[in-house]
Chain A
């Protein structure tokens, strides 16, 4: 099955700086890569996703890049704000249609 590794496990950034989270996956057949954000005490929510036929996708301050050859994808948050503090999970979906999640990155934005 798919194995997704996520780094770093924790990330502390100064407000206004950028944050980058990286994930690698094992199954070259994977074709869908979502990112979920889980604020403290709240449910995980989809913030952005990318499909294998696209190399980059942006939505305001967040962007995701995908390198299929290297089997890795990354989440970029620019101009971080306190409300960006949360746990972020990457995931990958392969031919079995099941999502495999990374272990999560706890992002703390310092004021």
Chain B
């Protein structure tokens, strides 16, 4: 009964080859987030969607894009992965956008760039 599902669990891509990570939710939450987490570091927010409204963090590289075609699904596209993009990518959801919402995380996708 997983509520936030990320696929794949592990993804290997080549330097410069576009890659897409996917996330789905069964919670019907309004907000979906993508975080990047590198080893021994804090999860870093890349962007979030409030419903269909896209919100990009100021320091998120242009190389990263996102799509949310409907409430349940959200995708992270990395157009030209570099070695520095190797990381764990965590998708999360929250019911609303109030600053006091519980985040529900997926299990993450570990991205390797060769």
Q: How far apart sit A19 and B106, CA to CA, in the bound complex (Å)?
A: 27
Chain B residue numbers with a CB within 8 Å of A45 are 105
Among the listed A4, A32, A36, A101, which residue makes an inter-chain contact with B99, where contact means beta carbons less than 8 Å apart?
A32
Total interface residues in chain A, CB < 8 Å = 28
Total interface residues in chain B, CB < 8 Å = 18
Interface flag for B107 (CB, 8 Å): yes
Interface flag for B18 (CB, 8 Å): no
Chain B residues with a Cβ under 8 A of chain A: 4, 40-45, 90, 97-100, 102-103, 105-108
Closest residue of chain B to A102 (Cβ to Cβ) is B42
Q: How far apart sit A41 and B106, CA to CA, in the bound complex (Å)?
A: 11
User: Are A43 and B40 interface neighbours, CB within 8 A?
Assistant: no
Q: How far apart sit A32 and B100, CA to CA, in the bound complex (Å)?
A: 6
User: Are A43 and B100 interface neighbours, CB within 8 A?
Assistant: no
User: Are A104 and B100 interface neighbours, CB within 8 A?
Assistant: no
User: Are A103 and B105 interface neighbours, CB within 8 A?
Assistant: no
Closest residue of chain B to A93 (Cβ to Cβ) is B99
User: Are B4 and A43 interface neighbours, CB within 8 A?
Assistant: yes
Closest residue of chain A to B59 (Cβ to Cβ) is A1
Chain A CB within 10 Å, residue with most, of B90, B103, B108 = B103
Interface flag for A7 (CB, 8 Å): no
Among the listed A9, A42, A99, which residue makes an inter-chain contact with B103, where contact means beta carbons less than 8 Å apart?
A99
User: Are A89 and B4 interface neighbours, CB within 8 A?
Assistant: no
With contacts A43-B4, A43-B108, A45-B105 taken as known, whether A94 is within 8 angstroms of B42 at the C-beta atoms is no
Among the listed A6, A41, A94, A99, which residue makes an inter-chain contact with B45, where contact means beta carbons less than 8 Å apart?
A99
Q: How far apart sit A32 and B41, CA to CA, in the bound complex (Å)?
A: 21
Interface flag for A46 (CB, 8 Å): yes
Chain B CB within 10 Å, residue with most, of A95, A96, A98, A99 = A99
Chain B residue numbers with a CB within 8 Å of A4 are 42
Chain A residue numbers with a CB within 8 Å of B99 are 31-32, 93-98
Closest residue of chain B to A52 (Cβ to Cβ) is B100
Q: A43-B4, A104-B42 are in contact. List 9 more A-B contacts (CB 8 A).
A: A32-B99, A43-B106, A44-B43, A46-B102, A49-B100, A93-B100, A98-B99, A99-B103, A103-B40
